[in-house]
Amino acid sequence: MKHDLVIKGGTCVTASEMFNGDLGITDGRIAALGEGLHGKYVIDATGKLVMPGGIEAHAHIAQNSATGGMTADDYTSGSISAAFGGNSCIIPFAAQHRGMGVTETLDLYDSRASGASVLDYSYHLIVSDPSEVVLTKELPDAFRRGITSFKLFMTYDKMLVNDAQFLDVLSVAKEHGALTMVHAENAGMIKWMTDRLLARGLKEPKYHALSHPALAEEEAIHRAICMAKLVDAPLLIVHVSTPEGAALVQKARQQGAKIYGETCPQYLFLTRNDMDRPDMQGAAFMCSPPLRDAATQTALWQHIQSGTFDVVSSDHSPYRMDDTGKLAHGMDAPFTVIANGMPGIGARLPLLFSEGVGKGRISLPEFVALSSTNAARLYGLLPKKGTLAVGADADIAIWDPNKRGRISADNQHDNAGYSAFEGWEVTGLPVTVLSRGIRVIDGGALHAQAGHGQFLARAKFEHSGRKGYLAPELDPTQNFGVNIAP
Ligand code: URP
Ligand code: ZN
Ligand code: ZN
């Protein structure tokens, strides 16, 4: 049999193994793994790594912030940058702002993404207003639409939910098999620190890092985990930036709770000293949680190695360094009104490969797990995405492990206009990216059209294997027989 396309001679890597073999693609899917396969077209991958394309599962694209700003990237530029960086699938956010319905929010993001993306996409739904109708009707409707992950904020005045609302969303998510994600920082601690800094006239961007103390993350992660345990619901702590927060995730996992963890390149490669620049340049490095220090980087790598983190995501939040983005309030604005976040969707995988695999910190299968397979598992995309298996979509990234490059705003293909990782030397880069067997990136050029990417209705979250937690107060054998568990 002749396949539409055969990738020959490469080293195939999945999250569990490596093997030398050919990969046959027919009708956009992997049809065979074997030797001596024949195809109408052949890609010679000798000396290259053939891996599942990355799944970028934390990105803010075509998203209004709560303060009214709009990200610099839309679904076209965001997906193109992702593709150049070795990704074949993206899951940005659809943000419900207060006063908006969930269905209205998803319709809005459908209109922004449809026909625009070069890669297949879905959204996580940010829930900021969990009203009765949202909990009882709109979240179940969203779930039926294939949106099987919801994000909650414990900070940002216009986005945060209180603890009771948090428990309500966790319970609805649990009932439907959705995964809740949380931005865990203590809002009151941030406000208190901010007020003290501003009262002393300390308003430059670098003070943003002090206004979000590590303890604010530790407290909120602890609280979030306790809430998830109370209702025995799965919870993913996104962008963990502190050793203390990571240790809480690790402990909860060891106890069998359905707790999952994510960290991001900025916490592995940058520190708050990067924010100590004149004028407003430090604003380029402002994100929440903020950059920490070198000791944190070491600890987070150890947590990657010991399995605390399921995913390393970019948290791509592109705002330009001009009056359309970070400098919308002028050159003298306090850090409190500067948009949070930095671009990084194209840099995530080259950095993780070079600094992780290249420096011996993680193995190639671990790289695939952290960059693709675990996201597919958490977000209901396995076995369609995230692996090299017969029947899976042919979403494939071919990497040259020896190709050297330098990260620069000029080669990221996004609209942010700067890179927080400017000048970082990397060894190992994607050279070809396929989406459903179609060349998206090859030879340093874009080949797919906007609109190639399709919406992915995702399946429910499978978290078998964790025993979970039964609070005695919710256990009918210990609580006078009352049945109040969600
Ligand atoms: O600073 C960041 N990360 N901005 C994006 C929004 C978020 O909290 O993930
Ligand atoms: Zn967040
Ligand atoms: Zn984010």
DSSP state letters, 230-295:
HHT--EEE-S--SHHHHHHHHHHHHTT--EEEEE-HHHHH--GGGG--STTGGGGG--SSPP--HH
Residue 183 Cα: closest atom of ligand 1: 8
Across 131-147, average pLDDT: 97
pLDDT band of residue 1 (cuts 50, 70, 90) is: confident
Ligand 1 pocket, 315 CB below 6 A? Answer: yes
Q: Confirm or reject: Cβ of 96 under 6 Å from ligand 1.
A: no
DSSP state of 70: B
Per-residue CA distances from 179 to 30, 175, 381 (Å): 28, 10, 13
pLDDT for 336: 96
pLDDT > 70: what percent of the chain?
100
Residue of minimum CA distance from atom 9 in ligand 1: 315
Residue 48 structure tokens: 């290259």
Third-level CATH fold of 53-375: TIM Barrel (3.20.20)
Selection from 168, 181, 91 nearest residue 386 by Cα: 91
User: Tokens representing 387?
Assistant: 């692996």
Q: Coil, strand or helix: which one is 58?
A: strand
Instruction: Tell me whether the omega of the peptide bond preceding residue 52 falls within 30 degrees of 0, making it cis.
Output: no
28: three-class secondary structure by DSSP: coil
Residue 154 C-alpha to ligand 1 middle, in angstroms? Answer: 12
pLDDT at site 68: 76
The bridge status of strand 54-59 relative to strand 87-95 is: parallel
Which residue is associated with the tokens 């996409």? Answer: 121
CA of 460 relative to ligand 2 center, distance in Å: 22
Residue nearest to atom 7 of ligand 1 (CA): 288
Ligand 1: does its nearest atom lie under 6 Å from the Cβ of 155?
A: no
Q: Give distance in angstroms: CA of 96 to centre of ligand 1.
A: 15
Whose alpha carbon is nearest atom 2 of ligand 1? 341
Taking only the tens place, the pLDDT of each residue in 324-382 is 999 999 999 999 999 999 999 999 999 999 999 999 999 999 999 999 999 999 999 99
Torsions phi, psi of 162, nearest 5? -85, 175
- Asked whether residue 96 carries a pLDDT value surpassing 80, the answer given is yes
Residue nearest to atom 5 of ligand 1 (CA): 341
What is the torsional sign of CA 35, 41, 47, 49? negative
**pTM score of the predicted model:** 0.98
403 Ramachandran zone, left/alpha/beta (phi>0; psi -120 to 50): beta
Is 76 a residue whose pLDDT tops 90? yes
Q: Which residues does residue 149 pair with via DSSP β-bridges, in sequence order? A: 179
Residue reference for tokens 């052949």 = 42
For the chain, the structural domain boundaries read 53-375
Which uninterrupted H or E stretch holds 430? Answer: strand 425-435
Question: CB of 60 closer than 6 A to ligand 1?
Answer: yes
CB-based contact 375:386 (threshold 8 Å)? yes
Q: How sure is the predictor about 57, in pLDDT bands with cuts at 50, 70 and 90?
A: very high
| 288 within ligand 1 shell (Cβ under 6 A) | yes
